[in-house]
Structure 1
Amino acid sequence: MLSSWKHSPAVRWVLLLLFVVLFYFSLAPHVLPTTYDIEPGKRSDRDVIAPNAKEDKKRTLAAQELAAEQVEPLYTVVSLKGDALLEQIFKRIEQLNQDDQVTEQNKVNIYRSEIPQSYHDYVDRFAQLNRGNDAYNDTLLEDMAQGAKDQAYRLPEETYYKLPSLSAEQLTEMRDVAVVIVKKLMGEGLRDAETARSKVAELVNASTLTDRKSREIVQELARFAIMPNRFLNKEATNEAKVAAKEETPPVMIKQGDVVVKKGDIVTLENYEMFSDFNWLQDKKTYWPQFGLLLLSLLFVIVIYSYMEKGATPGGAKYSNAQFVMLWLIYLLNLLAMEIVQLTQTDTMPFVGYLAPTAMGAMLIAILLDVPLAVVSSFLFAIAGSVIFNTSTDAIFDFNFGFVIAVVSFAAIFGIHRAGQRSTILKAGIMASLFGSASVLAIVMLGELPQKSELVLTVAFAFASGLLTSILVIGLMPFFEVSFGILSALKLVELSNPNHPLLRKLLTETPGTYHHSVMVGNLSEAAAEAIGANGLLCRVGSFYHDIGKTKRPSYFIENQSNMENPHDHIEPKLSKSIIIAHARDGVEMLKAHNIPKPIRDIAEQHHGTTFLAFFYHKAVKQAEEEGVDPDFTEDDFRYPGPKAQSKEAAIVGIADSVEAAVRSLRSPSVEQVETMIAKIIKGRLDDGQLSDCDLTLKELDKIAQTLKETVIGIFHSRIEYPEEVKSKERLA
């Protein structure tokens, strides 16, 4: 009943609630605002300090409006060319004046109709051609067309009567003068065409034209061709105002600013500001609390989803004891963050890099599961980005989150399958190097600090990894003893020949001990070939037949120079003795507090295999006695369970292979290969591998590795093809 809590759903829900509480209270001081009980018109009995930085939106808005008002209107010079219009008009006059078929009055009428219209057509055509041009927006083109038309010059009536009498030579001379004048006056950019038109007469009089009529006509046509070409760009001006607003820095009330001093009257403005910021107790909102609770629940959902659903197919789910251990690891890691955060200041935020943030990920990788450590690394990174955030602009500072993720992943990679305690120190050094590199990268991507600050930042990050390894080495024995965890370090300790059970195995059953060592060599090589836990296979092999120490003489490897006792007892009794060694082994391992994965290997390495020899012996005995067998094949099978893990299955296969090879006098390579294939096929056909997740491809690798290892171990006993052929020739 005492162990029932480990799988109790009620306990599981309590533990999940404890996770929520842990996350909530770890992050609460960093995200939940402080509130005050103040009233307008009354004196404050204490300094009212801004609990966090807030933007004073009213003052910020006023500053933005002021910045927008100070933006000067933006004008754009449009490439309207009055000289081009002049060229067009002079060309038409020259063409029409040369036509003798048109009377002078008709020419006057044509000029009166076409010349004013040419101005409007030129402006409209320019606007049409430039639509879609990046240089001019549609609003500008519309304003340009309307503005140019509003400032159009009206030619005097007498000018139309003067045009038909002009000769080609006069028109050429007049055109050259008019074009130069229009270019000059429009080249500076005109907002008001009349200002430029007032200068035309002076420029014409200073020209080379001597004929009075020519000068008068040039003056009028030049004035006509001059048009405004500098217009207010409303869109650009509005964009400039928007940019000015955006570039206006927000007016901030900094965290820690004394908004109202003790003894001062609380003004209505102060009160309204605190009300807007939800800093008043009577205006307190509980949305931040709900938000933090939701974030804590999301953290727990991630952990629960992985631990409940993330187990390998056929694998056992995590027990409540493992949940408790995980909760303690999270508590220690978050507590370490909080302690280091207390030393942080606004001027020294980089102190946060000293926190041993990879400690939790490293402990989880060693004691529980590497994928779970990866998941936890993300959660620690998010929590750390909240805890170490010194900025008031956001809840998270992902500079710290990035560094925490990097050092955690580096530590996980470095500690993966640790076999010695020195591996923890190596993983800590790796975390130090990657942490320093990530911090240096972040610093170089931003504004470079002073040299002394840069050195301290990198030094703190480096020290974090070393501190992590020291803490992990110190905490490992606590978790291993308290929870009976089978870590790689624990496996190495269990493989010590001085362990009481291994000494018992060696002294009382030397044959079984030698057999177990050989199975360990075979299973470790096979497991590592497919990426399984080779160290667990080796140590599990050392203990898998520990139950044989109860009746050592009934097992063939211990029967040197003695008669086989099975020859004188009933097959059913022999079967019971043989089968019992697995059960006896589990009981002995439990009594010595050997971790469950090793007990599972001892219990599952035979699965539900069939004791064919004793079954057929019993059948033969029944036939000799002339009675019908009162038993079935199932009565001569191991009780199981079948192998539930790759490691248990591999040890079972290696156990059979070692025993089979030992039974052969001078096996050849072909015999070894055939024998291994037969053993694996027999286990497959018998369904012994149906509960573990070994694939056919992995079984092929196991067979190949076992063959190579057997040849290496029993090298002197195995005959190679060349040796066989030479013996045949000698015979």
Structure 2
Amino acid sequence: MKNEVQMKGKFHYRLSGWKYNTGIRVVMFLLLGVIFYTALYAKLVPQVFDITLGMKSEKTIYAPEQIENAVATEQAKEDAAKRVQPVYRIVNLKNEVISDAIFDKLSQINADEEVKFDDKVSIYRRVIPQIISDLTNDAIKTLRNSGQYNDLLLEQMQSGLDEQKYPLPEEVYFKLPRLTKEDLAEMRPVTKDIVTKLMNDQILDAQTARAKVAEVVNTSKLAKNTSREMVTEIARALITPNKFFDQKGTDDAKGQARENMKPVYINKNDVLVKAGDVITEEIYTRLEKLKLLKDKANHLPQVGLGILSVLLCFVMFMFVKQSMMELKYNNSQLVMLILIFAMNISGMKIISFLQNVEYPIIGYLAPTALGSILIAILLDAPLAFIASVIFSFIASIIFNTEHDLLFDFRFGLVSLVGCFSAVFTIQRASQRATILKAGLMIAFFSMLTITSMLLLEDHFQQKEVLMSLAFATAGGLATVVFVIGLLPFFEASFGILSPLKLVELSNPNHPLLRKLLTETPGTYHHSVMVGNLSEAAAESIGADGLLCRVGSYYHDIGKTKRPSYFIENQTNIENPHDKIDPNLSKSIIVAHPRDGVEMLKDFKMPKPIRDIAEQHHGTTLLHFFYYKAMKLAQEENSEKGIREEDFRYAGPKAQSKEAAIVGIADSVEAAVRSLRNPTLEQIDSMVTKIIKSRLDDGQFNECDLTLKELDTIAKTLNETLLGIFHSRIEYPSEVTTKKPGA
């Protein structure tokens, strides 16, 4: 737990100014809500423009999301339909059957000698066209009954056959009756073969096919010219179109081509309207569909976003209110928290601008865990977990590229896992290298989460996997770079003493510690001992042990101004206090906290360190010089009164647990060191006496140490001192009886 300071109304000097003003704190939380609202506005609330039909656009308008370009899509469909070739159907009308029917009629009538020649001519003029027509109609009827052909096609077939019907020349009817039985027998197979052969081709124009008949007949075995002529004409009459235009099939093919045409999209951030363009009906409809028109805007999303922002802000407010962090009262730290939120969300927004529909996975590049790490180091780990949940929730909205969804759980989950892994890694960090470790953990667990989601979806591509993992790795490493770069800024700007900074300040090569060691070695040793004692005591009650240890190293730095006036530095020299007035001695002694603070300020040391140096003595009484002054006054029969207040440290009293603990450890270490051969009972009695004396003197009235914690501190100090002075402790004598042979 970070610095816990009991902020109560009676400590006016701690609660004065804007840093502890309740009204300003409320404004700060409202500002946090405004940040949430502003960050999510573009994603959740469509932008609207004051536009009317026919006007010129005053600004360039970009598509807030991917949308289908209806006009372009329709044009693409029409173009696809135009590219579709006409559909034709090949129909077998079985014209060879008609050939057999005609020759059967010829054989029958020619063989009848009772029928006169003129009657035969008349019959052929009437019957042959009728046979062709009837059998053709029967074939079409059969096709209709089969259900394989639509009515429109059959109608087009009938129309085509009628249009391309071949009329037999008149002289044919006069020559047919003169054909003998032998002639007809010879002509029948030839005619049938010619019709079958030519009808096997796709015939759209019968005239072209009929032109080939004479050539084929000339290659036949028919010897008589009359037979050849009649076969030619009959075959021409039987050659009909067999390839017909299918209007319905063509329309269906065009319809299928339209359906297969993919929609044409206007991608996110594409220009919808350029500045100066006239708003046409098409553009107006498009803007209306995207809900970008001001006069038709829906304000409900704004209300919803406002409620959502308030809820997120309320979560942070309640968590801080229920905690014991200094942030609960310190508006300076609240400003830092809000700044971290603003920077982290800004980073996510910048990465979101690089996203598009084709590569939404760029969102994995965002250093979402940046804010979580900074909060964990600078403020509090539990607060970092709550912030991580909010960051992940916001990431699921900002990186969502699906216009029909409010959240994309993939980015939220990856962000949550990355933030949590970072906070778990960075807790109680004592080295800068821990930040790098946190970045590697972010990258590893983010990649693991992405891999699990891709495997669950089971329709990923290798390129998508590699790019997703690469972006996640880059995001983790980028987080490390930003944290290392921003951490000193926050530490210096807000006076935050992070564990990493404390470890740096504990380096013996620090100029002040080197000065302490070289000029006051006794004080240096004393400070190290106090550091060990105070760290153990602080950790036993959950206070900041590292702050106590480092604060102890610097708490007596003011003694370097007059080192010989402090007993731990009086090696082989006389005590100068023996020869000077106790009031002067008092002035020298009580000045070292003030001198220390001034020296720490000169080196721009963090305020918590300065507070420990200033407050570790509180307003305690210098008993030795007070009683010495009283004794001298009695010996001199001086009428001048000796006031106790004049022999007290200037204070202030300890304002934090850490300052109080360092003060206790300082007194305990000095007192125990003064004992020649301390025993366990003497140490316990000394620790109890010092704590009780400070408690009775009201030195703990302005910090939140409880009696139970004071008892725990006393036990811990006893145990620690036992380990330090174990070689000199005289244990109670015990009678030990040695066994024979032992």
- Assess if the C-alpha contact under 8 Å between 1:340 and 1:351 holds in 2: yes
Match of 1:158 in 2: none
Q: 1:40 to 1:508 in 2, by over 3 A?
A: closer
TM-superposition CA deviations, 1:636-658 (whole Å, max 9, x none)? 32222222222112211111111
Q: How does 1:175-194 map to 2 (within 5 A)?
A: none
Q: 1:684 to 1:43 in 2, by over 3 A?
A: closer
Match of 2:329 in 1: 317
- SS in structure 2 opposite 1:399? helix
Displacement of 1:629 after TM fit? 6.2
Q: 1:35 to 1:513 in 2, by over 3 A?
A: same
Q: How does 1:32-71 map to 2 (within 5 A)?
A: 32-35=45-48, 51-52=64-65
Q: 1:50 to 1:624 in 2, by over 3 A?
A: closer
- Assess if the C-alpha contact under 8 Å between 1:314 and 1:691 holds in 2: no
User: Quick one: distance in 2 between partners of 1:43 and 1:621?
Assistant: 99
Q: 1:621 to 1:420 in 2, by over 3 A?
A: same
Match of 2:589 in 1: 578
Displacement of 1:6 after TM fit? 6.2
User: Quick one: distance in 2 between partners of 1:275 and 1:49?
Assistant: 14
Match of 2:281 in 1: 266
> 686, 689, 707: which one pairs with 1:678?
689
Displacement of 1:531 after TM fit? 2.8
Partner letter of residue 681 of structure 1?
K
User: Quick one: distance in 1 between partners of 2:703 and 2:580?
Assistant: 36
Match of 1:714 in 2: 725
TM-superposition CA deviations, 1:35-74 (whole Å, max 9, x none)? 466667999999998744799xxxxxxxxxxxxxxxxxxx
User: Quick one: distance in 2 between partners of 1:529 and 1:448?
Assistant: 54
- Assess if the C-alpha contact under 8 Å between 2:19 and 2:330 holds in 1: no
Displacement of 1:577 after TM fit? 2.1
Which is further off, 552-561 or 619-628? Answer: 619-628
Match of 1:355 in 2: 366
Q: 1:715 to 1:448 in 2, by over 3 A?
A: farther
Displacement of 1:484 after TM fit? 4.3
Q: Which has the larger radius of gyration?
A: 2
- Assess if the C-alpha contact under 8 Å between 1:527 and 1:702 holds in 2: yes
Displacement of 1:387 after TM fit? 0.9
- Assess if the C-alpha contact under 8 Å between 1:31 and 1:395 holds in 2: yes
Please give the TM-score of this superposition, normalised by the length of structure 2: 0.62
When the two chains are superposed, the root-mean-square deviation of aligned CA atoms in Å is 4.0
Match of 1:506 in 2: 517
Q: 1:536 to 1:359 in 2, by over 3 A?
A: same
User: Quick one: distance in 1 between partners of 2:307 and 2:327?
Assistant: 31
Displacement of 1:361 after TM fit? 1.3
> 16, 25, 40: which one pairs with 1:27?
40
- SS in structure 2 opposite 1:692? coil
Q: 2:706 aligned with 1:691, yes or no?
A: no
- Assess if the C-alpha contact under 8 Å between 2:24 and 2:331 holds in 1: no
Partner letter of residue 682 of structure 1?
S
Paired positions, count:
525
- Assess if the C-alpha contact under 8 Å between 1:669 and 1:721 holds in 2: no
- Assess if the C-alpha contact under 8 Å between 1:49 and 1:256 holds in 2: no
User: Quick one: distance in 1 between partners of 2:549 and 2:58?
Assistant: 72
Match of 2:294 in 1: 281
User: Quick one: distance in 1 between partners of 2:36 and 2:731?
Assistant: 65
Q: How does 1:8-157 map to 2 (within 5 A)?
A: 19=32, 22-35=35-48, 51-52=64-65
Displacement of 1:554 after TM fit? 1.8
> 523, 544, 547: which one pairs with 1:536?
547
Displacement of 1:260 after TM fit? 9.9
User: Quick one: distance in 2 between partners of 1:432 and 1:644?
Assistant: 42
Match of 2:352 in 1: 341
User: Quick one: distance in 2 between partners of 1:384 and 1:448?
Assistant: 24
- Assess if the C-alpha contact under 8 Å between 2:556 and 2:613 holds in 1: yes
> 486, 495, 503: which one pairs with 1:475?
486
User: Quick one: distance in 2 between partners of 1:511 and 1:50?
Assistant: 73
Q: 1:346 to 1:475 in 2, by over 3 A?
A: same
Q: How does 1:293-312 map to 2 (within 5 A)?
A: 295-296=308-309, 299=312, 309=321, 312=324
Displacement of 1:556 after TM fit? 1.0
Q: 1:5 to 1:317 in 2, by over 3 A?
A: closer
TM-superposition CA deviations, 1:572-615 (whole Å, max 9, x none)? 33222222211111111112110000001111111222222222
Q: 1:513 to 1:259 in 2, by over 3 A?
A: closer
User: Quick one: distance in 2 between partners of 1:43 and 1:409?
Assistant: 51
- SS in structure 1 opposite 2:281? coil
Q: 1:576 to 1:36 in 2, by over 3 A?
A: closer
Unpaired stretches in structure 1, ≥5 consecutive residues? 56-251, 727-731
Displacement of 1:516 after TM fit? 0.7
Q: 2:671 aligned with 1:643, yes or no?
A: no
- Assess if the C-alpha contact under 8 Å between 2:369 and 2:415 holds in 1: yes
Match of 1:653 in 2: 664
Match of 1:388 in 2: 399
Partner letter of residue 487 of structure 2?
M
User: Quick one: distance in 1 between partners of 2:699 and 2:555?
Assistant: 17
TM-superposition CA deviations, 1:471-490 (whole Å, max 9, x none)? 21233233334444322222
> 519, 527, 534: which one pairs with 2:530?
519
> 583, 588, 607: which one pairs with 1:596?
607
> 625, 630, 634: which one pairs with 1:619?
630
- Assess if the C-alpha contact under 8 Å between 2:63 and 2:272 holds in 1: no
> 403, 408, 418: which one pairs with 2:414?
403
Q: 1:47 to 1:486 in 2, by over 3 A?
A: closer
User: Quick one: distance in 1 between partners of 2:318 and 2:604?
Assistant: 30
Which is further off, 433-442 or 657-666? Answer: 433-442
Please give the TM-score of this superposition, normalised by the length of structure 1: 0.63
Q: 2:508 aligned with 1:493, yes or no?
A: no
Displacement of 1:287 after TM fit? 4.5
- Assess if the C-alpha contact under 8 Å between 1:385 and 1:396 holds in 2: yes
Partner letter of residue 403 of structure 2?
T
Unpaired stretches in structure 2, ≥5 consecutive residues? 1-15, 69-262, 738-742
Displacement of 1:286 after TM fit? 4.4
- Assess if the C-alpha contact under 8 Å between 2:400 and 2:408 holds in 1: yes
Q: Structure with the greater relative contact order (CA < 8 A, sep ≥ 6): 1 or 2?
A: 2
Which is further off, 487-496 or 567-576? Answer: 567-576
Q: 1:340 to 1:272 in 2, by over 3 A?
A: closer
User: Quick one: distance in 1 between partners of 2:503 and 2:408?
Assistant: 41
Percent identity between matched residues is: 58
User: Quick one: distance in 2 between partners of 1:339 and 1:260?
Assistant: 22
